[in-house]
Amino acid sequence: MGKGLFVTGTDTDIGKTFLTGELIKCLHDAKVNVGYYKAALSGAEWIDGKLVGGDAKYVFVHAGLEGEPNDSVSYLFEEAVSPHLASKHLGTEISLDKIIEDYNRKVEEHDYMVMEGSGGILCPISIGKEKIMLPDIVKALELPVVIIAAAGLGTINHTVLTYEYCKNQSIPVKAIILNHFHIEDLMEEDNKKMIEEMTDCPVYVWSEKEKRLNMTLAEILYLF
Closest by Cα among 4, 10, 72 to 44: 72
Tally of CA atoms within 13 A in the half-sphere of 206 that contains its CB: 22
Tally of CA atoms within 13 A in the half-sphere of 104 that contains its CB: 10
Helix-helix angle 186-199:155-168, to 10 degrees: 20
Q: Where are the domains of the chain?
A: 3-222
What mean pLDDT is predicted for residues 11-23?
A: 94
Question: Is 131 among the residues known to form the active site?
Answer: no
* Each residue's pLDDT tens digit, 92-125: 999 999 999 999 999 999 999 999 999 999 999 9
Residue ranges of alpha helices (H) inside the chain are: 16-29, 54-63, 83-90, 96-107, 134-141, 155-168, 186-199, 217-222
- The residue annotated as part of the active site, out of 16, 38, 57, 106, is 38
What mean pLDDT is predicted for residues 191-214?
A: 91
**Residues 6 or more apart in contact with residue 71 via CB below 8 angstroms:** none
* Each residue's pLDDT tens digit, 133-147: 999 999 999 999 999
| pTM exceeds 0.75 for this model | yes
pLDDT at 1: 60
- The domain defined by 3-222 folds into Rossmann fold (3.40.50)
Q: Evaluate if residue 85 carries a pLDDT over 90.
A: yes
